[in-house]
Amino acid sequence: MESRMPLIGDKFPDMEVVTTRGVKKLPSDYKGKWFILFSHPADFTPVCTTEFIAFQKRYDEFKALNTELIGLSVDQVFAHIKWEQWIKENMGVEIKFPIIADTGKVANELGLIHPGKGTNTVRAVFFVDPQSTIRAMLYYPQELGRNFDEFLRMIKGFQVADREKVAIPANWPNSEIPELEGDRVIIPPATDVEAAEKRKSEYDCFDWWFCHKKL
């Protein structure tokens, strides 16, 4: 019987996994850090290869944001290693983050197996915060490669939202609304009449329920 797929706000489930960088315990080995766990359909496939190169080229940026990366697919560890070698030899990029070698157990627990795609994992992405809470989940079909600049934006946005107790506008920091461009963030709605009345004197506002400030 398959476990219930985890949801946003759940704690990431405890598991021990075999990776290209040794055995790891999730999420405890990453306590105090953000981590992004992302699954790919299979090694030695074109779209997945472009994705791993894209992630590796941004790895230093993620690490600067206290964020680690972990790949996963239902392939054996030697296949991951050979694929890493191929990428280095043919594309000139060395993959430095771990890749989980899954038998299907982890993928089933996380809801990564699409019923119509055999044993291949979908392109899923889990964002997990330093308290081991799942903050976001994204799923892509096999034919569509992911946007890795968006993942950086999301981590930056989560960290700003947590630190400042604010919300992040659409396409931040490149808002479609001129007043919200750059490092402007949205103030959470007032929860009582007194706070609503104070808003316009405390922040820049379009109305009492739509206020913003500069970081």
Q: Which residues are catalytic?
A: 48
Beta strands in the chain (DSSP E): 15-19, 22-26, 34-39, 67-73, 99-101, 123-128, 134-140, 184-186, 204-207, 210-214
For 177, residues 6+ apart whose C-beta sits below 8 A from its C-beta are 169
Task: Give 182-206 as a 3 state SS string.
Answer: CCEEECCCCCCHHHHHHHHHHCEEE
Distance (Å, whole) CA 34 – CA 42: 25
Identity (one letter) of the amino acid at 210?
Answer: F
- Provide the CA 52 distance to its chain's centre, in angstroms: 14
